[in-house]
Chains A and B, each alone.
Chain A
Amino acid sequence: SQQGEEDPQALSIQEGENATMNCSYKTSINNLQWYRQNSGRGLVHLILIRSNEREKHSGRLRVTLDTSKKSSSLLITASRAADTASYFCATDGWDDKIIFGKGTRLHILP
């Protein structure tokens, strides 16, 4: 089952621009994670943000979490061709069960 909803579903931007993806969820969470998936490959974990955190950075990635709005955003700065992939948010709650959103397909144009 998939609780999260990422938007947009697909995003195309020019190389060098920033890419922002959003994720909304429905129930209370312990953690929210972002994953990347390249075509034909498995998920790669990008970043985890806990429910008591509001912002987290990792390299060119910036994740924000607003628990009052039940939403998170993933910002990729200075995008590169290699960033072309699908991005998923995943939440886990009281039962530690991880639930995924439907993903955003990001395409970086040369």
Chain B
Amino acid sequence: GAVVSQHPSWVICKSGTSVKIECRSLDFQATTMFWYRQFPKQSLMLMATSNEGSKATYEQGVEKDKFLINHASLTLSTLTVTSAHPEDSSFYICSASYRGVQETQYFGPGTRLLVL
């Protein structure tokens, strides 16, 4: 089946630094990619929807200048957490959607971010 990868799988960084997370669809071209974050023991929260070649659509309350999303190609989307702070520590997961005969969605394994 289709595979979506994320890199890195985990990252520890100092407060104030920026962290880039990649989401790749390995064997299909993703029409749309979604970025979510999850706090421990809570449900996923949609952060933004990203279509290739266009600006991401952010959910209410998500700072677009804080969480930069780039969807440069049909197989790659990146999420950059700028000037990370400890409250940004979370689990970030992407999903890639393929709209063929029927829309199918595949999830990445997630990236755990810890900001010290």
Contacts and interface: CB of A to CB of B under 8 A. Distances in A.
Contacts of A1: 109
Interface stretch (A14-22, A27-35, A64-72): A27-35
B91 interface: yes
A86 interface: yes
Contact of A98 (B38, B49, B102): B38
Interface in B62-107: 91, 93, 95, 97, 99, 102-107
B41 A30 contact: yes
B103 A42 contact: no
Contact of A33 (B43, B104, B106, B112): B43
A45 B109 contact: no
Contact of B44 (A10, A86, A90, A103): A90
Contact of A42 (B34, B40, B104, B109): B34
A58 interface: no
B28 interface: no
Given A2-B107, A40-B97, A42-B49, A98 B44 contact: yes
Given A48-B43, A86-B103, A97-B109, 19 more contacts: A10-B102, A35-B44, A39-B99, A40-B97, A40-B99, A42-B34, A42-B36, A42-B49, A42-B59, A43-B36, A96-B40, A97-B110, A98-B91, A98-B110, A100-B107, A102-B1, A103-B104, A103-B105, A105-B102
Interface of A: 1-2, 10, 30-31, 33, 35, 37, 39-43, 45, 48, 86, 88, 90, 92, 96-98, 100, 102-103, 105
23 contacts: A1-B109, A2-B107, A30-B41, A35-B43, A37-B105, A39-B99, A42-B34, A42-B46, A42-B49, A42-B59, A43-B34, A43-B46, A45-B43, A45-B44, A86-B103, A92-B41, A96-B38, A96-B40, A97-B112, A98-B38, A98-B44, A98-B93, A105-B102
